[in-house]
Amino acid sequence: MRKLFALALGAAIFATPAFAQYPERAITMVVPFAAGGPTDTVTRLVAESMSKELGQQIVVENVGGAGGTLGAGKVAQAAPDGYTLLMHHIGMSTAPTLYRKLAFNPLEAFEYVGLVTEVPMVIVAKPGFEPADMKSLVEYVKANKDKVNYANAGIGAASHLCGMLFMSAIDTRVTTVPYKGTGPALTDLMGGQVDFMCDQTTNTTNQIKEGKIKAYATTTAKRLDALPDVPTAEESGYNDLTFGIWHGVYAPKGTPKEAIDKLSAALQKALKDPNVIERFASLGTAPVAEDQATPAAHEAKLKAEIARWKPVIEAAGEFAD
């Protein structure tokens, strides 16, 4: 026991000078969804800018599956050395209620680097889908509930949350088709293999503008500049569908503070990068304010969001093992 304590003390003493040089090699940032989807898009933009700031490459690794819980679980288990990070979204706050046996506790397994952005969602459907607007979409889904299907990225994904809220609001259940991310789901939606889904604007804006998919409603309080013709869900009377998909950067618990501080500073710089701001705007989103890209703001948001979604999920009565 004494030996262990001495070892830990030694590690703590030597950790500080070592981290003065951090980062000395490439960093992995895990995206808990498939490549080509909205979380992947946000991560690659931010990682590219943070890499410049840190002087080392941030390599994006896609670990999709189980609504983001596989990738998050992998990072929770990783060495806390500053070389494995996670970009995750609102799913980090819904998973602890949705999953009866989650392999990690979001409030104990991570250090928080900072918040990144809050991305709106939009309800979209395959090209040529019959309903013309949100009102007729609801009528159609109710009338054809045994026939239509809804794509998502698994239980715990933002697309799952949005679908769950939509189905609760219209009091109708339809078949869901889970993917490892909404990147591949969007490909199938464009191909007509699935009927409709709800996904971040970072994955859908261009395809809506190009007429490759149909858009019914955004989850925003006001119409988006990037999609001015798409009404909000509130305009059709669905007030419970107003929410944003917040994203944050995590590191395994125990990652030294020196590393976290450098990562937070690099994140704050990246969020002021004109290229990031411009690309975000074209996809219907914006970086958070600098004081939100901090460990304290991130931790407070996660706690508040776990508390916010718990009763909503419990009321919907949808859980996973």
Q: Which residues contact ligand ASP by CB under 6 A?
A: 33-34, 37-40, 91, 152-153, 157-159, 181-183, 199-200
Amino acid at site 174: V
Tell me how far, at minimum, the Cβ of 32 lies from ligand ASP, in Å: 8
Smaller CB separation from ligand ASP, 15 or 190: 190
Q: How far is the CB of 114 from ligand ASP (least distance, A)?
A: 19
Output the smallest distance, CB 9 to ligand ASP, in A: 42
Residue nearest to ligand ASP (CB): 37
* Residue with Cβ nearer ligand ASP (159 or 292): 159
Tell which residue, 217, 287, 312, 229, has the closest CA to residue 46. 287
Name which of 174 and 259 has its Cβ closer to ligand ASP.
174
Distance CA 118, CA 89 (A): 9
Minimum CB distance to ligand ASP, residue 182 (Å): 4
CA 192, CA 185: separation in Å to the nearest integer? 10
d(CA 163, CA 160) in angstroms, rounded, equals 5
Rounded distance between C-alpha atoms, residue 167 and residue 165, angstroms: 6
- Between CA 145 and CA 222 the distance in angstroms is 30
Question: What's the per-residue H, E or C state across 120-152?
Answer: CEEEEECCCCCCCCHHHHHHHHHHCCCCCEEEE
Nearer to ligand ASP, 136 or 193 (CB): 193
Q: How far apart are CA 305 and CA 112, in angstroms?
A: 15
CA 68 vs CA 31, 34, 72, 181: distances in Å:
8, 10, 6, 8
CB of 181 to ligand ASP, least distance (A): 3
Kindly state the smallest distance separating residue 120's Cβ from ligand ASP, in Å: 12
Cα–Cα distance for residue pair 307/201, rounded to 1 Å: 25
Helices marked H in 191-292: 201-209, 257-270, 274-282
User: What tokens appear for 306 in the block?
Assistant: 């776990």
Indicate the residue among 199 and 273 with the shorter CB distance to ligand ASP: 199
Of 47 and 260, which CB lies nearer to ligand ASP in the complex structure? 47
Q: Are 60 and 44 in contact (CB under 8 A)?
A: yes
Residue 13 beta carbon to ligand ASP: minimum distance, rounded to whole angstroms? 41
Nearer to ligand ASP, 178 or 231 (CB): 178
Q: Least distance in Å: CB of 319 to ligand ASP?
A: 18
Are 42 and 119 contacting, i.e. CB atoms less than 8 angstroms apart?
yes
